[in-house]
């Protein structure tokens, strides 16, 4: 590692971007306003409300559709340089297809983008953060490969309308999470139960869609617009239980989640990792499948997909322990991985059952990505902590300061190429199947008051200090 002084170690490099993140369905509301079409989260919350713990929905949420000027003010007051938000596909293309564009949707995002730029804040746009137009789900959703083409058509509408001003793009948010929306009928939208099959089909379509979008931008827009395109991936750090479990964690990292998406796009060979192909093909055969449950890329597709990135977006929240062994039903990705996972009971918790506080996992994972893929530029697109609400969010303050310190060690000591950071989330919002019970905001939102007032929590004040001084304050450094 590099030799660095204590002051540098807690300071953000020049040019490093700091900001906050949100997603359309979680904050916008206006679910049927001004010509927006129905998406799969509208359908789930309206038709199967029991799947959401408090039976709530994003119908109104933070009502950012009507209060976006307040969101921009919060960002401005914090000294944020970048705002990561997502575009609601069905607000732009109500039926999912590009034959019918909803001008009110275009106007909404134009107003938001222009206001951000007027305030010196760079927009970073996620094209897809889980709110698929229902009309495309009616065709089968992501397991249907035709969506790789429809996604490209949607992206073209975005580049045409916003690409003159938006220079940072993410094609997809956490495909690892939304492929699981096809593995259980009590899970996220569309909540379909086809584990070990529809999840792999989803991954395959999403990888091809990402590549289509990247190549289309290269052909039609890049020269003029000069933007950068990435994808926001997520994975928990996997800590081996013992030295005999290193291989199990290696299968978890490459075999299971992250590399399913990262290897075809970021590795030099391209394609799925061979450990994934071998295991899923072999286990499929053992289970009596004539065709492997893992779809195959042609060599043209491997070459077309390889290298379709300008940076890697990464969402870090937590870690797991991994051990050799088999768990999960047959067929399933869990079973395919040949690893048993659990979390150390000594790790501090949060309001979310899956989120334990493991800051050192962040540094280890950043190093793992850098080693695996030749140190690509990494943008931390999400990192955050949940509680049950309240302005005095001491545990969230600690979560942010500890994780930022680990990230700065990765940058300065390990020389990992991290280029930006957006905290999840700017505001309390609709936390998917946990409704409004788990809060991730650095600003509190009063969901009873129709004007949805926003109030800075202690964490917003500390992040403001950090963003303005561009260093971790002394009182958080030991």
283-322: which residues touch ligand PNW (CB under 6 A)?
A: 315, 317
Mutual orientation of helices 394-412 and 359-373 as an angle, nearest 10°? 30
The pair of structure tokens assigned to 118 is 């007027």
Contacts of 49 (CB under 8 A, 6+ apart): 55, 57
Task: Provide the 8-state DSSP code for 232.
Answer: E
Q: Which stretch binds ligand PNW (CB under 6 A): 161-169, 171-179, 341-349, 360-368?
A: 171-179
Q: Which stretch binds ligand PNW (CB under 6 A): 170-178, 217-225, 399-407, 441-449?
A: 170-178
Q: Which is nearer to ligand PNW, 234 or 334 (CB)?
A: 234
Q: How near is the Cβ of 45 to ligand PNW at its closest, in Å?
A: 15
Decide the pairing of beta strands 339-342 and 319-324.
antiparallel
Q: How near is the Cβ of 152 to ligand PNW at its closest, in Å?
A: 23
Contacts of 310 (CB under 8 A, 6+ apart): 228, 229, 230, 377
Q: How near is the Cβ of 5 to ligand PNW at its closest, in Å?
A: 35
Place of tokens 């990561």: 84
Contacts of 194 (CB under 8 A, 6+ apart): 143, 182, 183
CB neighbours (10 Å) of residue 268? 9
The answer to whether 393 contacts ligand PNW (rule: CB under 6 A) is no
CB neighbours (10 Å) of residue 279? 19
Positive or negative, the Cα torsion across 233, 199, 271, 220? negative
Place of tokens 């800590």: 239
Q: Of the residues 28, 70, 152, 174, which is catalytic?
A: 174
228-257: which residues touch ligand PNW (CB under 6 A)?
A: 234
Query: CA torsion 123→129→135→139, rounded to 10°?
Result: 130
Q: Which is nearer to ligand PNW, 68 or 85 (CB)?
A: 85
Number of residues that bind ligand PNW (CB under 6 A): 13
Among 424, 439, 460, 462, binds ligand PNW (CB under 6 A): 424
**Are 309 and 266 spatial neighbours (Cβ–Cβ below 8 Å)?**
yes
Among 440, 441, 442, 457, binds ligand PNW (CB under 6 A): 440
**Are 362 and 256 spatial neighbours (Cβ–Cβ below 8 Å)?**
no
Specify whether 174 is catalytic: yes
Give the three-class secondary structure for 71.
helix
Q: How near is the Cβ of 149 to ligand PNW at its closest, in Å?
A: 25
The candidate with the shortest Cα–Cα distance to 396, out of 447, 326, 349, 345, is 349
The answer to whether 86 contacts ligand PNW (rule: CB under 6 A) is no
The answer to whether 174 contacts ligand PNW (rule: CB under 6 A) is yes
322-351: which residues touch ligand PNW (CB under 6 A)?
A: none
Please identify the residue of the shown chain whose CB is closest to the bound ligand PNW. 354
Q: Which is nearer to ligand PNW, 161 or 173 (CB)?
A: 173
Specify whether 28 is catalytic: no
Q: Of the residues 70, 259, 382, 438, which is catalytic?
A: 382
Among 177, 292, 375, 437, binds ligand PNW (CB under 6 A): 177
Q: Which is nearer to ligand PNW, 142 or 424 (CB)?
A: 424
Q: How near is the Cβ of 361 to ligand PNW at its closest, in Å?
A: 13
4-43: which residues touch ligand PNW (CB under 6 A)?
A: 23, 26
Report the alpha-carbon distance of residue 158 to residue 146 in Å, rounded. 19
Give the three-class secondary structure for 312.
strand
The answer to whether 431 contacts ligand PNW (rule: CB under 6 A) is yes
Q: Which is nearer to ligand PNW, 74 or 283 (CB)?
A: 74
The answer to whether 382 contacts ligand PNW (rule: CB under 6 A) is yes
Q: Which is nearer to ligand PNW, 151 or 343 (CB)?
A: 343
**Are 460 and 77 spatial neighbours (Cβ–Cβ below 8 Å)?**
no
Q: Which residues form the interface with ligand PNW (CB under 6 A)?
A: 23, 26, 173-174, 177, 234, 315, 317, 354, 382, 424, 431, 440
Q: Would you name the residues annotated as active-site residues?
A: 174, 382
């Amino acid at each position: 590692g590099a030799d660095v002084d204590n002051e540098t170690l807690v300071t953000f490099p020049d040019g490093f971007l700091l900001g906050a993140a949100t997603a359309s369905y979680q904050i916008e509301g206006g679910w049927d306003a001004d010509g927006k079409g129905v998406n799969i989260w509208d359908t789930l919350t309206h038709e199967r409300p029991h799947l959401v713990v408090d039976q709530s929905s994003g119908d109104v949420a933070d009502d950012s559709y009507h209060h976006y000027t307040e969101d921009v003010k919060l960002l401005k007051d914090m000294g944020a340089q970048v705002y990561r938000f997502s575009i609601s596909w069905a607000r732009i293309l109500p039926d999912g297809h590009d034959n019918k564009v909803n001008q009110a949707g275009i106007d909404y995002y134009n107003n938001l983008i222009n206001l951000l730029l007027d305030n010196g804040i760079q927009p970073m746009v996620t094209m897809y953060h889980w709110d698929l137009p229902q009309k495309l789900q009616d065709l089968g959703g992501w397991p249907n490969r035709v969506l790789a083409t429809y996604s490209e058509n949607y992206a073209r509408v975005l580049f045409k309308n916003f690409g003159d001003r938006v220079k940072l793009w993410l094609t997809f948010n956490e495909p690892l999470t939304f492929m699981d929306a096809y593995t259980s009928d009590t899970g996220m939208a569309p909540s379909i139960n086809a584990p070990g099959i529809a999840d792999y089909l989803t991954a395959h379509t999403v990888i091809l869609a990402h590549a289509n979008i990247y190549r289309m931008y290269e052909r039609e827009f890049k020269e003029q617009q000069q933007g950068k395109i990435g994808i926001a991936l997520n994975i928990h750090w996997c800590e081996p239980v013992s030295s005999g479990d290193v291989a199990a964690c290696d299968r978890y990292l490459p075999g299971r989640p992250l590399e399913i998406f990262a290897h075809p796009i970021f590795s030099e060979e391209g394609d799925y990792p061979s450990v994934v192909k071998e295991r899923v093909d072999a286990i499929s055969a053992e289970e009596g499948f004539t065709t492997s449950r893992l779809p195959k890329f042609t060599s043209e597709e491997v070459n077309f997909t390889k290298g379709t990135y300008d940076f890697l977006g990464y969402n870090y929240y937590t870690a797991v322990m991994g051990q050799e062994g088999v768990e999960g039903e047959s067929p399933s990705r869990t079973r395919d991985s040949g690893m048993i996972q659990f979390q150390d009971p000594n790790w501090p918790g949060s309001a979310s059952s899956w989120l334990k506080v493991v800051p050192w996992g962040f540094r280890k994972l950043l190093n793992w990505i850098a080693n695996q893929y030749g140190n690509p530029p990494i943008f931390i697109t999400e990192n955050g902590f949940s509680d049950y609400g309240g302005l005095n969010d001491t545990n969230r303050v600690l979560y942010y300061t500890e994780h930022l310190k680990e990230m700065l060690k990765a940058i300065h000591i390990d020389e990992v190429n991290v280029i930006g950071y957006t905290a999840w989330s700017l505001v309390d919002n609709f936390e998917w199947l946990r409704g409004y019970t788990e809060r991730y905001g650095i600003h509190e939102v009063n969901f009873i008051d129709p004007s949805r007032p926003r109030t800075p929590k202690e964490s917003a004040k500390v992040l403001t200090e950090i963003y303005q001084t561009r260093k971790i304050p002394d009182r958080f450094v030991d």
